[in-house]
Chains A and B, each alone.
Chain A
Amino acid sequence: AQSVTQPDIHITVSEGASLELRCNYSYGATPYLFWYVQSPGQGLQLLLKYFSGDTLVQGIKGFEAEFKRSQSSFNLRKPSVHWSDAAEYFCAVGASGSARQLTFGSGTQLTVLP
């Protein structure tokens, strides 16, 4: 069975600083990987996804993520954080090589200081 680990429960960064959110997965084959963001009271919004090809994936809102098979990681990055980026971030892996059924990590809460 697949699993996702987000080691950081809570991260605090200053506005304008760079950001990296960690995600490690366990899956027997090539995974389908996703990052979602959830703002208070809002549904999950897809930031980016990786299925195959280029291991550096660009997403919305200036986010990017890099798939590293050797490290079983799919870390999310942003070069300069904005106050509006404060939210909960979830990494997810698609089950059985499909995005149809997702397993989520426990989430990382991002706080942005002015």
Chain B
Amino acid sequence: GAVVSQHPSRVICKSGTSVKIECRSLDFQATTMFWYRQFPKQSLMLMATSNEGSKATYEQGVEKDKFLINHASLTLSTLTVTSAHPEDSSFYICSAPRTGIGADTQYFGPGTRLTVL
């Protein structure tokens, strides 16, 4: 099946630093990828849509200057949390759609646990 990887799986950083999270589609190309945020015991909330070759599209309420997204290639999207603060601590998950019969199916990465001290 399709595989999406994320790196790192877990990161701890000091308040004020920036953290980069990578999302890769390993066996297929993805012109679009999605970034979600999941708080403990809660559902996934879509943060933004990463578009290869163009600017990301952010959901309402998501600060684009804080959560920088770069879709560098057809297999790689990065999310950079700039000047991280404790409230940014969360589980960040990316996904990539793969074209299938009928419509695309989203394949999810394993997630990145960010802890900001």
Inter-chain CA distance A101–B4, complex, in Å, is 16
CB closest chain-A residue, reference B32: A100
Chain A residues with Cβ below 8 Å from B102 are 32, 51-52
**Distance in Å from the Cβ of B10 to the closest Cβ of chain A?**
9
**Are B49 and A107 in contact (CB-based, < 8 A)?**
no
A50's closest neighbor in chain B, by CB? Answer: B102
Asked whether, in the complex, the Cβ of B43 is within 8 Å of the Cβ of A107, the reply is: yes
Total interface residues on B, using CB and 8 Å?
24
A52-92: which residues lie under 8 A (CB-CB) from chain B?
Answer: 52, 90
User: Is B8 part of the contact surface with A, judged by Cβ < 8 Å?
Assistant: no
Q: Closest chain A residue to B110 by CB distance? A: A43
- How many chain A residues have a CB neighbour from B under 8 Å? 25
Q: Residues of B contacting A90 with CB < 8 Å?
A: 43-44
Question: Is A36 located at the chain interface by the 8 A CB criterion?
Answer: yes
CA distance A34 to B6 in the complex (A): 22
Q: How far is the CA of A26 from the CA of B100 in the complex (A)?
A: 24
Give Cα distance in the complex from A44 to B110, angstroms.
Answer: 7
Interface of A toward B, CB cutoff 8 Å: 32, 34, 36, 42-46, 49, 51-52, 90, 94, 97-107, 109
Q: Which 8 A-B pairs have the closest CB atoms?
A: A51-B102, A43-B110, A44-B108, A99-B104, A104-B43, A43-B108, A99-B103, A106-B43
